[in-house]
Chain A
Amino acid sequence: MKFESKRGTEKAELQLTSMIDVIFLLLIFFVMTFKIAAQEGDFSVKMPIEGTGGNPDTTNIPIKLRLRANADGELTDIIVNDSQSFGNSWLDLRGFILKLTGGNAPPTPEEGPEVEIDLDYNLRYENVIRAITAVTGQRKGDEIQRLVERIKFAPPRKP
């Protein structure tokens, strides 16, 4: 004898309203917390404390970069090796570095010429990054041509 329950023949209904409520809550949460962040990168610098290691500069191309600032922290002068002034032109500085290194990258990050950056205490940090950008390389399309890998800072000039 075949028994057929009444419940078995009922059509199950999916309650969409509550599911859509939850989905919309999730959507609103993600939309509100979403933030487009700019791509970030690093300048990796190995700077042991003076006299405790680090490879000495064997290239005979000492580069001492002096960055002067006005009272507002804006760059006023870029001086290389206490003799050559580039005003505030980063392009001229890069041209100088290109000429000095011959446009060749050092064989390893621990080798090659070293640039010592000596800056006025109140110089805005963005100028320090521009200086590092100008001496460490240049972008050619999607490629980055490395020039100088070794950077160090002179002792801070306390006001």
Chain B
Amino acid sequence: MTAMIDMVFQLIIFFMVLINFSQDDQNDKIKLPASELAKPPDAPLTFPIVLHLDPNATIYMGANIVTVESIAPLLKAEIQLLESRKQTAKDANIVIRGDLSTPGGVVQDLIKKCQELGFEKFALRVREEQT
């Protein structure tokens, strides 16, 4: 009995350590493109705003579902939050998790829209390619 309880506890600890409760930077609908140069950032990004872009050009930002044309109010709300922390849009990082089959032009449109609002730093998220 003791050995069994030991084993079960080991398993529980294993799964507890590896479980990821944060759903903010994950979205099952998005299949990221792969790159051999992908490596996790050395330091966490400052004020990351994660945008999930699916193949139909729908953007998932937190619990909101928007399009490139209708994303501005949400980004303006983020800018207000930044200003309340004495920062600007230039300090934020827009993390784009685009699906591999999304038209590249939509990603360009999204970047352009963010640039118009003052954002400068972009992180194009990719999956690590096994070589």
Question: Chain A residues in contact with chain B, CB under 8 A?
Answer: 16, 20, 23-24, 26-27, 30-31, 33-35, 37-49, 53, 67, 73, 119-130, 132-133, 136-139, 144, 153, 155-159
Majority secondary structure of chain A interface residues (helix, strand, loop or mixed): mixed
Taking a contact as CB atoms closer than 8 A, the residue among A37, A123, A126, A139 that contacts B105 in the complex is A123
Whether a CB of chain A sits under 8 angstroms from the CB of B87 is: no
Question: Chain B residues in contact with chain A, CB under 8 A?
Answer: 1, 5, 8-9, 11-12, 15-16, 18-20, 25-26, 32-41, 45, 93, 95, 98-109, 111-112, 115-116, 120-128, 131
**B18 partner residues in chain A, CB cutoff 8 A:** 34
Q: Which residue of A lies closest to B14 (CB)?
A: A30
Nearest CB on A from B103, distance (A): 5
Cα-based distance from A40 to B112 in the complex (angstroms): 24
Interface centre among B112, B115, B124 (most CB of A within 10 A): B124
Would A42 and B123 be within 8 Å (CB), given that A37-B26, A123-B104, A125-B102 are in contact?
yes
Contact B126 A45 (CB under 8 A): no
**A26 partner residues in chain B, CB cutoff 8 A:** 12
Cα-based distance from A20 to B36 in the complex (angstroms): 45
Contact B8 A24 (CB under 8 A): yes
